[in-house]
Amino acid sequence: MGKRIRIRFLYTRYPHWCSRSGFMQITRHLGGRFYPILDGAADEGSDLPKCLAGLERWLRKRVAGGSMPWYKVNDFLAELRALPGSMGGRYDVIHFLDGEHSGRYLPRLLRRLSWLRPHMVASFHQPHDLARTLIDPETVRRFDHVTVFSPSQVALFREWLPAERIHLIPHGIDTSFFHPPYTRHRGNNMRCVTVGHWLRDWSVMRGVACAFLDDPRVQFDVVTSRETGLEGLGNVVHHRSIPDAELAELYRKADVLLLPLTESTANNALLEGMASGLPVISTALAGTCFHVGRAPCVLAPVGDTKAYIDAVSALQNDPDRRLEMGKEARRRAEELCWVNVARRFAALYEGMARGESGGEISQRMQKLLSDGEA
């Protein structure tokens, strides 16, 4: 099999995520060719003990924020922990899984050690307009490669990097954990589920829920720890901090994934709902279209409440169409299972470890596409 490629993953720990959700799931599916080394930084608070609160305050003033507003003390500490192995030749590749708040200092230092340093890649998640306010172009230029999740991100990164160093790779989903029920009913009673809080359009959600207040056949399940503006509506059930198994079961009990967004690149809830065999009603955005692929769905214009209401009404009255859309959504999710997506990243890691050019790496990925993978 040859030498295993040693990869140091730096990622962010989000407490509200399901343990089977999020981009770090890729580390579970790389196979025997790779040796992953994980280092997670909490997105809130500090990993430093309370007795070092003074040091934390000092670090916050000197290393956090600035040209990367989301960069925190914990992100700095994760880079610091990776420094000895990076300089000692223990890693072949370092992958910064959350590029908007990672990799601020370590790549700058390692660029000066070109004869020894590991190859470096960062993945960026946020929509282009928001990303401009979060990303330091000089930091981006220090990465050997970057990966993005939506075609809408590519143009932004081409301002800072050659096209061959930018790779569009879809997000993945755990299709064994998130899966359809054995049977789904065909009646006109319909449960719509929405999950998460980031870049959700709660104004649209409230408009839709209010439109069906007098129809007891349509109910809404909302899974989020944030305020939504839907509180007090009789047809809305809120779920907070539910166990992972309960979340998966909630998807299986639903009839439709209703996911109004203001922007998106990749979306955990979208893929979870698709993997659970749910028809999708969401927003017509580049990232949504990219991940839905050819699966039939309803994608409404941003903020068009009436379009969402019409879509919910149409699917309520056409259970056969709901079932067929759900089956196709599941098929698309299977194309985006983590095993398939991990193969794309494996091609990137292997190419980087071998010193291949970006063009050669892209050809390797294109071969995977021609072979019918994600």
Residue 237's H or E segment, with its range, is strand 236-239
Summarised one tens digit per residue, pLDDT across range 322-338 is: 999 999 999 999 999 99
Q: How many CB atoms lie within 10 A of CB 85?
A: 16
Please name the residues in contact with 316: beta carbons below 8 A apart, sequence gap of 6 or more: 188, 190, 217, 218
Mean pLDDT across the chain: 91
Summarised one tens digit per residue, pLDDT across range 121-165 is: 999 999 999 999 999 999 999 999 999 999 999 999 999 999 999
Q: Which residue has the tokens 């892209």?
A: 362
Q: How far are the Cα atoms of 17, 200, 209, 212, 263 from residue 206, in angstroms, in the given order?
A: 24, 11, 5, 10, 18
Summarised one tens digit per residue, pLDDT across range 6-32 is: 999 998 887 776 788 889 999 989 887
pLDDT band at 2 (very low <50, low <70, confident <90, very high): low
Q: What is the pLDDT of residue 1?
A: 47
Structural domains in the chain, CATH included, are 5-172+338-370 (3.40.50), 190-335 (3.40.50.2000)
Sheet holding 5-13, edge to edge: 34-42, 5-13, 93-96, 119-124, 145-148, 166-168
Summarised one tens digit per residue, pLDDT across range 105-132 is: 999 999 887 667 899 999 999 999 999 9
Sheet holding 256-259, edge to edge: 236-239, 218-223, 190-195, 256-259, 280-283, 298-300
Q: What is the pLDDT of residue 193?
A: 98
What is d(CA 303, CA 307) in angstroms, rounded to the nearest whole number? Answer: 9
**Residue pair 6/93 in contact by the 8 Å Cβ criterion:** yes
Q: Which residue has the tokens 């301002």?
A: 159
Please name the residues in contact with 215: beta carbons below 8 A apart, sequence gap of 6 or more: none
Summarised one tens digit per residue, pLDDT across range 176-218 is: 999 999 888 778 899 999 999 999 999 999 999 999 999 999 9
Please name the residues in contact with 85: beta carbons below 8 A apart, sequence gap of 6 or more: 8, 37, 91
The alpha carbon torsion through 106, 108, 110, 114 (nearest 10 deg) reads 160
Q: What is the pLDDT of residue 115?
A: 67
127: left (phi over 0), alpha (psi -120 to 50) or beta: beta
Residue 64 confidence (pLDDT) above 70: yes
Q: What is the pLDDT of residue 374?
A: 55
Exposure pattern of 305-333 as b/e (b: 16+ CB <10 Å)?
bebbbebbbebbeebeebbebbebbbebb
Helix locations, the chain, DSSP H: 53-63, 73-87, 106-110, 128-134, 137-141, 151-158, 202-211, 244-253, 268-275, 286-292, 305-316, 319-335, 338-353, 358-370
pLDDT band at 370 (very low <50, low <70, confident <90, very high): low
